[in-house]
Amino acid sequence: MSTDYHPRRLVNVGAERVSDVASTDFPGHYPGEDHSWDLQKFKQNLHVKIQRLSNRSIDFDLVGVDASIANAFRRILIAEVPTIAIERVYVWDNTSVIVDEVLSHRLGLVPLNVDPAFMQFKTHPDDVATDRNTIVFNVEITCTRNPAAPKGSSDPSELYVNHELLSSHFQWKPAGDQQSVFEGFPTPGPTNPNIVLAKLRPGQAIAMELHAVKGVGKDHAKYSPVATASYRLLPHIKIKKPIPPALAEDFQKCFSPGVITINPATKQVSVDEENVRKDSVSREVLRRPEFADSVELTRVRDFFLFNIETESAYTPERLFPEAVKVMREKISVIRGAVEALKAQLEGTGAGDVEMTDA
């Protein structure tokens, strides 16, 4: 992708302030120019490119959309993509030092590997639990002394048996058709089996039944599928005049490592376009009098560098398409409402409403 960006796409970054923040690509802003929304032009400018993918996170570029759209996807990822989490805890026995309410809260925050597509929403919190809307786990653990503990040891893992309640102690209790539904998929349970939930000592025991249901993050943070979902604008650095060789290293240190390169032979300074995304835009270079007129710092207004970390059953690469799916559902609801309003207005003769495809 070209690094020669049109000035209208750039947000200017000064030493103490930023300017040209708002987008200007809307009808009427530039005399004699038509900036009405066009689907073909939008498709031509839209780009999505994955930069890094791991087991738990993804970095990708979203290019060619307004900040309101990018932020809508970010908020949907955090609050509206559904997941499964423990909602109700039935405590039969708890003689640990952790009180029931605190332990229940900890249990609710344990991420589960259950794909939400297999479950239905409970239409009401007090609805009857069924195999279609509830996953049940049992927890039974009792701490005892280890008769074979090494003499003189002070390590609890050697002195006691079951000295910690871990997320791996969740035992799935299939109900109804769940055994066949989850056949061929990971057994329902925590995504991380090593989360410490409580510490026990001999004579202490915990026995509980846990009910997990489908929900969204706007109802409770435990349903959020991401540890973080964030974006930042692509930095754009333009060197306006040559940097004296004696100041090349000082100039390089004003940016994040790898952003500025120095030719070993000529000491000529240049911007590494592959690593410019790593720059933190600290603006340190603009606070140095010797460099203030030598460089121009901007950000590309419609070039978003997304980072998403999953903490749920979703793989990282699946999260953004799920957010798009939620967005499409919202648009469908709005479109239906507009069509209903149009029909009502036409029926009353109040006027015409034009519909355009989005």
User: What pLDDT was estimated at residue 76?
Assistant: 97
CATH of the domain at 56: 3.30.1360.10
Q: How many domains does the chain have?
A: 2
pLDDT average, residue stretch 131-152:
94
Give the CA angle between residues 28, 34, 36 to the nearest 5°. Answer: 85
Helix orientation angle between 316-348 and 67-79, rounded to the nearest 10 degrees: 110
Q: Which domain holds residue 209?
A: 83-224
User: What pLDDT was estimated at residue 351?
Assistant: 55
Claim to verify: residue 91 and residue 220 sit in the same structural domain: yes
Claim to verify: residue 95 and residue 210 sit in the same structural domain: yes
Band of residue 6 on the pLDDT scale cut at 50, 70, 90: confident
Claim to verify: residue 113 and residue 209 sit in the same structural domain: yes
Claim to verify: residue 165 and residue 212 sit in the same structural domain: yes
168 closest CA partner among 146, 139, 125: 139
208 closest CA partner among 92, 88, 112: 92
Q: Which of 4-13, 57-66, 297-306 is least confident?
A: 4-13
Q: What share of the chain is helix, strand, coil (3-state, %, to 5)?
A: 25, 30, 45
Count of CB atoms situated within 10 Å of the CB of 29: 12
Please say if the pLDDT value at position 335 is more than 80.
yes
pTM above 0.75, yes or no: yes
pLDDT average, residue stretch 304-333:
95
Percent of the chain's residues with pLDDT above 90: 79
pLDDT average, residue stretch 267-288:
92
Percent of the chain's residues with pLDDT above 70: 96
